[in-house]
Amino acid sequence: MAIMRWVVLVSCFCIGSSPAQERFEPFSSSYASRLHFFQGTTAPGLSDTLPNVGTFTAAVSGKKSVGLAALYSLLVPGMGELYASGFSSGKYFLMAECALWITYAAFQIHGDDLRNDARTYAVSRAGVSSLGKNDQFYVDIGNFMDTGEYNEKKLRDREPDRVYDPALGYAWRWDSDAARLAFREQRVSSETVYNNRKFVGLAILVNHLASAINAARAAIAHNNALDYPLGDMQFGATVIGGWENPHGIMITVSKGL
């Protein structure tokens, strides 16, 4: 009687397995065919162990574009990582971006304050008319005591096109050399602060590029996880009821870490 049961079980297993093998690719060709093959069997508990084909298809369709991930982070650091499900690292690029822009704004505000203070000082101590004057004019008044001294120097250097006309509001005379030096120091300080913005701007650019690279890597890692969702799998078979009284075969699937 036991022999007859074994013959029936083996025959049913072969009949149940053959159509699945004919309809789908070989077992080792893809994870999708593995899922179809094992779902074609009727081993108890197997359907609860393996994900169904719909779940697998949905996972594959959830792949992320590496190019889009890089583009998003190139525009706004951290957004590409968020798109690629890797915001755990992308958040640091976003925080760095915010900090850098705050620093840039701080340099801009501080530089403006120093420049305005210096020009106000020049109005009060050198009689400068600030209306319509460019940055070069303030550089020049910091290097010469008055308009006459400056014009004489430019004429000796054969640069008549750079001579200032006092009648047009380009006259100045410092009340002391110390005042002139104080103005120049303040003006130079404002320029130094403005120049610091360039380094912050460079850091912002580097942050964008680094985040774009990190986002691309996050998208690749995300897609690789979808390509190999089952990891290292091990299969086993157990006779239900024992060898003496078999009434089924239990196929087990375990995932290695």
pLDDT in tens, the chain (257 residues): 444 444 444 444 443 443 333 333 333 334 444 444 334 444 444 444 444 444 444 344 589 999 999 999 999 999 999 999 989 999 999 999 999 999 999 999 999 999 999 999 999 999 999 888 999 999 999 999 999 999 999 999 999 999 999 999 999 999 999 999 999 999 999 999 999 999 999 999 999 999 999 999 999 999 998 877 655 556 566 767 766 666 666 766 665 55
Q: Are 174 and 180 in contact (CB under 8 A)?
A: yes
Give the pLDDT confidence of 154-210 residue by residue, as tens digits.
999 999 999 999 999 999 999 999 999 999 999 999 999 999 999 999 999 999 999
Radius of gyration of the chain (CA): 39
Nearest one of 41, 12, 18, 62 to 229, comparing CA atoms: 62
Model confidence pTM above 0.75: no
Task: Give the end-to-end CA distance of the chain in Å, rounded to a whole number.
Answer: 43
Domain ranges of the chain: 2-51+229-256, 93-212
- Per DSSP, 230 falls in state S
Neighbours of 177 (CB within 10 A): 9
